[in-house]
């Protein structure tokens, strides 16, 4: 894996996500990268370069953030770094398989895609997932009740969608925290 390409990806994302405060930002991409590398360490058959770059670039063309076609932002970055076409295709394929809303009920068909999907979903769970839910809700005018509904529509479903053994293990604790939070929220708002 080429560390200079990873550093260049971080710099590119810093520019791409500048002024974004809805939970889809550089920090999110870096957490997904860290999650992915942690999972990848348990999957020796994976291509670490594909995992790393797909994790970092997974939101570079997210439909909620950009009106790009054909993964233009990710594709442009990979071309600028002279990433070989074979790896570029694998990275773009993995990225395309990550989204919960764009791939309902579908499991990525590559190990690298499975790892990155797990890594992204882990960042939607636990304390960070809760914080991101309310950051996104606030940025898009959602009420607290609407943000809480998102837990039931997506976040509580994620544990059962994990692809890898490591992803499932990491999801357990984060899922339990979501449940604890919701129980406390329910108690605190019982009179509303």
- Greater confidence (26 vs 173) lies with 173
Q: What is the mean pLDDT of the chain?
A: 93
Output the CA–CA distances (angstroms, integers) from residue 93 to 21, 41, 59, 65, in the order listed: 27, 21, 13, 19
Interval 101-109 mean pLDDT: 79
Question: Rounded to an integer, what distance in angstroms lies between the CA atom of residue 179 and that of residue 176?
Answer: 5
Mean pLDDT is lowest, of 67-76, 111-120, 176-185, for 67-76
> Which of these, 180, 174, 69, 61, lies nearest to 119 by C-alpha position?
174
- Residues 27-40: pLDDT tens digits? 999 999 999 999 99
Q: Residue 62 — very low, low, confident or very high, per pLDDT cuts 50/70/90?
A: confident
pTM across the whole model: 0.93
Q: Is the pLDDT of residue 90 over 80?
A: yes
Fold of 3-188: Hypothetical protein af1432 (1.10.3210)
Interval 105-128 mean pLDDT: 95
Interval 34-63 mean pLDDT: 96
Question: Rounded to an integer, what distance in angstroms lies between the CA atom of residue 77 and that of residue 6?
Answer: 11
pLDDT value of position 103: 66
Output the CA–CA distances (angstroms, integers) from residue 148 to 107, 136, 139, in the order listed: 26, 12, 15
Question: Rounded to an integer, what distance in angstroms lies between the CA atom of residue 191 and that of residue 186?
Answer: 9
Where are the chain's structural domains? 3-188
Q: Is the pLDDT of residue 171 over 80?
A: yes
């Amino acid at each position: 894996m080429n560390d200079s390409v990873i550093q260049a990806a971080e710099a590119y994302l810093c520019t791409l996500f500048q002024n974004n405060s809805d939970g889809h930002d550089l920090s999110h991409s870096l957490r997904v990268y860290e999650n992915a590398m942690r999972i990848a360490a348990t999957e020796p058959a994976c291509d670490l370069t594909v995992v790393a770059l797909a994790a970092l670039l997974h939101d570079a063309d997210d439909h909620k953030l950009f009106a790009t076609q054909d993964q233009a932002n990710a594709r442009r970055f990979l071309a600028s770094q002279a990433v070989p076409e074979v790896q570029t295709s694998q990275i773009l394929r993995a990225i395309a398989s990550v989204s919960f809303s764009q791939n309902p009920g579908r499991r990525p068909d590559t190990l690298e895609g499975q790892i990155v999907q797990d890594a992204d979903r882990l960042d939607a769970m636990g304390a960070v997932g809760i914080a991101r839910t309310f950051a996104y809700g606030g940025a898009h005018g959602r009420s607290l009740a609407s943000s809480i509904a998102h837990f039931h529509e997506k976040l509580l479903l994620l544990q059962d969608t994990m692809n890898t053994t490591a992803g499932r293990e990491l999801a357990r604790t984060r899922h339990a925290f979501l449940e604890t939070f919701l129980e406390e929220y329910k108690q605190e708002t019982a009179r509303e």
